[in-house]
Amino acid sequence: DTEVTQTPKHLVMGMTNKKSLKCEQHMGHRAMYWYKQKAKKPPELMFVYSYEKLSINESVPSRFSPECPNSSLLNLHLHALQPEDSALYLCASSPVTQETQYFGPGTRLLVL
Amino acid sequence: RKEVEQDPGPFNVPEGATVAFNCTYSNSASQSFFWYRQDCRKEPKLLMSVYSSGNEDGRFTAQLNRASQYISLLIRDSKLSDSATYLCVVNDYGQNFVFGPGTRLSVLP
| B43-88 confidence digits (pLDDT tens) | 999 999 998 888 999 999 999 999 999 999 999 999 999 999 999 9
Q: Could you give the angle at the alpha carbon of A78 between the alpha carbons of A91 and A82, nearest 5°?
A: 110
Instruction: Provide, rounded to the nearest whole percent, the portion of chain A with pLDDT above 90.
Output: 87
3-state secondary structure of B33: strand
Window A:31-70, CB contacts with B under 8 Å: 33, 41-45, 48, 56
3-state secondary structure of B43: coil
> Please, which residues bridge with residue B60 across strands?
B57, B75
| B16-52 confidence digits (pLDDT tens) | 999 999 999 998 888 889 999 999 999 999 999 998 8
CB contact under 8 A, B91 and A90: no
> Please, which residues bridge with residue A109 across strands?
A11, A87
CB contact under 8 A, B45 and A103: yes
